[in-house]
Amino acid sequence: MKIERLQINFKTLEQFQQFSGYGLQELSMLEDLESNLIDNEFQSPFYGIYLGKALIARMSLYTHSENNEELIEINKMEVLPYYQKNGYGKELVNFAKSFKKTIKTIPRANSNEFWKKQGFIEADSEFVIWKPENK
């Protein structure tokens, strides 16, 4: 299973549209992609898993500093419903962990158990975090 950095182009926009009917509205990455289409110098924060030519899972990763520590935020992550419960979400999380930085995310849609299985702990009322030393 290979995770690829997604291009910021109209083909990716077309692939993202297959996700727009699924999940919660705040999980839609279309707006993020559309807003970055005009900036050719922008490094894509989007990563995905393809099955053949079909994009079946995706996430967006943003790096920023907090309390003098560089961390990664998984802003959004989605697996198409037909492909859920096959390890694709776990693979995306493991990819983010491979950067060996603290990871922070806001669990969505009753996903707390998933994040707990990935080694994340509650940080406050909104976020869960994973630290490389939590392994």
Strand order in the sheet with 54-66: 3-5, 46-51, 54-66, 69-79, 102-105, 128-130, 121-122
Question: Is a pLDDT exceeding 60 seen at residue 135?
Answer: no
- Interval 71-116: pLDDT, tens: 999 988 999 989 999 999 999 999 999 999 999 999 887 788 999 9
Q: Provide the residue ranges of all domains of the chain, joining segments of one domain with +.
A: 3-134
Question: Is a pLDDT exceeding 80 seen at residue 40?
Answer: no
Residues 21-46: what's their mean pLDDT?
Answer: 60
Question: Is a pLDDT exceeding 90 seen at residue 25?
Answer: no
Predicted structure pTM score: 0.80
> What is the pLDDT, as a whole number, of residue 129?
94
Q: Output the DSSP codes for 104-116.
A: EE---TT-HHHHH
Question: Which CATH class, in words, describes the domain spanning 3-134?
Answer: alpha beta
> What is the pLDDT, as a whole number, of residue 42?
60
Question: Percent of the chain, pLDDT > 70?
Answer: 81
Residues 126-132: what's their mean pLDDT?
Answer: 92
pLDDT band at 26 (very low <50, low <70, confident <90, very high): very low
Question: Is a pLDDT exceeding 70 seen at residue 31?
Answer: no
Question: Is a pLDDT exceeding 80 seen at residue 21?
Answer: no
Asked if residues 3 and 48 have their Cβ atoms less than 8 Å apart, the reply is yes
